[in-house]
Structure 1
Amino acid sequence: MTVQDTAQQTPADRFRVGIDIGGTKIEAVLVDPQDNVRNDVRIPARRGNAQVIDDVVSITHEVAGDLFDQVATVGIGIPGQVNPETGRVDNVVNLDIDTLELGTEAGKRLGIPVHVENDVNAAAVGAARMVGGSHPEGTIVFLNFGTGLAAGIVVDGVVQHGFSGAAGEIGHIPIDPNRFPCPCGQSGCLETVCSGASVGRHWPVEGKPPMPDLIECARRGEPDAQRILVMVTHAIVDAVQIVAQSYDPRMIIFGGGMAKTGQPLIDVTLDELRVRERTCPFLTGLHLGERIKLAQLDQPVGALGAAWAAPEA
Structure 2
Amino acid sequence: MEAVTAALSVGLDIGATKTLGLVLDPDGAILAEVREPTEPGAEGIVRSAARVFEALRVATGQPLEGTVGVGIPGLVEVERGAVKHAVNLGVNGDWLPLRDLLAERLGVPVVLENDVNAATLGAAALDDATDLVYVSIGTGLAAGLMLDGRLRRGEHGAAGEIGHVPVDPQGVVCQCGQRGCLETIASGSALAAAWPSGGVPPAQALFAAARSGDPAAIAARDRFSAGVASAIRVLSLAVDPASIVLGGGVAQLGDPLRMSVAQALLAQASSSPFLASLDLAGRLRVIPSDYPVAAVGAAYLGR
How far apart in 1 are the matches of 2:227 and 2:190?
Answer: 11
Counterpart AA for 2:19: I
CA distance 1:176–1:67, shift in 2 (3 Å)? farther
Is residue 2:238 matched to residue 1:246? yes
| 2:85 partner SS | strand
Match of 1:15 in 2: 8
User: TM-score, structure 1 length as denominator?
Assistant: 0.89
Is residue 2:119 matched to residue 1:127? no
How far apart in 1 are the matches of 2:205 and 2:274?
Answer: 33
Match of 2:57 in 1: 64
Query: In the TM superposition, what is the alpha-carbon distance from 1:96 to its structure 2 partner?
Result: 1.0
Q: Unmatched 5+ residue regions in structure 1?
A: 1-10
1:145-197 deviation digits (Å, cap 9, x = unpaired):
00100001113443221111110001011113551111111111101111012
How far apart in 2 are the matches of 1:28 and 1:215?
Answer: 30
Please tell me whether the aligned partners of residues 225 and 260 of structure 2 are also in contact (alpha carbons under 8 angstroms): yes
How far apart in 2 are the matches of 1:302 and 1:220?
Answer: 33
1:140-151 to structure 2, matched below 5 A, reads: 140-151=132-143
Match of 1:154 in 2: 146
Match of 2:72 in 1: 78
Aligned positions, number: 298
Match of 1:97 in 2: 91
- Residue 46 of structure 1: which of 29, 39, 54 is its match? 39
Is residue 2:294 matched to residue 1:302? yes
Match of 2:24 in 1: 31
Query: In the TM superposition, what is the alpha-carbon distance from 1:219 to its structure 2 partner?
Result: 4.2
* Identical aligned residues as a percent: 38
1:92-141 deviation digits (Å, cap 9, x = unpaired):
111211232110111123232101111111111101111x22xx23x211
Counterpart AA for 2:87: V
How far apart in 2 are the matches of 1:79 and 1:255?
Answer: 15
CA distance 1:30–1:219, shift in 2 (3 Å)? closer
How far apart in 2 are the matches of 1:300 and 1:42?
Answer: 11
Please tell me whether the aligned partners of residues 141 and 153 of structure 1 are also in contact (alpha carbons under 8 angstroms): yes
Please tell me whether the aligned partners of residues 254 and 288 of structure 2 are also in contact (alpha carbons under 8 angstroms): no
Match of 2:254 in 1: 262
Please identify the structure whose Cα radius of gyration is greater.
1
CA distance 1:43–1:308, shift in 2 (3 Å)? same
1:26-50 deviation digits (Å, cap 9, x = unpaired):
1100112222211111111101111
Is residue 2:160 matched to residue 1:168? yes
User: TM-score, structure 2 length as denominator?
Assistant: 0.92
How far apart in 1 are the matches of 2:61 and 2:107?
Answer: 14
Q: Unmatched 5+ residue regions in structure 2?
A: none
Counterpart AA for 2:220: I
Match of 2:108 in 1: 112
Query: In the TM superposition, what is the alpha-carbon distance from 1:209 to its structure 2 partner?
Result: 2.2
CA distance 1:264–1:178, shift in 2 (3 Å)? farther
1:248-290 deviation digits (Å, cap 9, x = unpaired):
0111000011111111112221222222222100011001111
Moved more, 141-150 or 225-234: 225-234
Counterpart AA for 1:114: V
How far apart in 2 are the matches of 1:57 and 1:83?
Answer: 22
| 1:268 partner SS | helix
CA distance 1:73–1:156, shift in 2 (3 Å)? farther
- Regions of 4+ moved over 4 Å: none
Moved more, 81-90 or 104-113: 104-113
Counterpart AA for 2:52: I
1:197-254 deviation digits (Å, cap 9, x = unpaired):
2111111112322223323333444332233223212211111101111110111000
| 1:72 partner SS | coil
Please tell me whether the aligned partners of residues 61 and 68 of structure 1 are also in contact (alpha carbons under 8 angstroms): no
Moved more, 237-246 or 32-41: 32-41
| 1:271 partner SS | helix
How far apart in 2 are the matches of 1:258 and 1:38?
Answer: 26
Counterpart AA for 1:129: A
Moved more, 291-300 or 222-231: 222-231
Match of 1:229 in 2: 221
Moved more, 50-59 or 274-283: 50-59
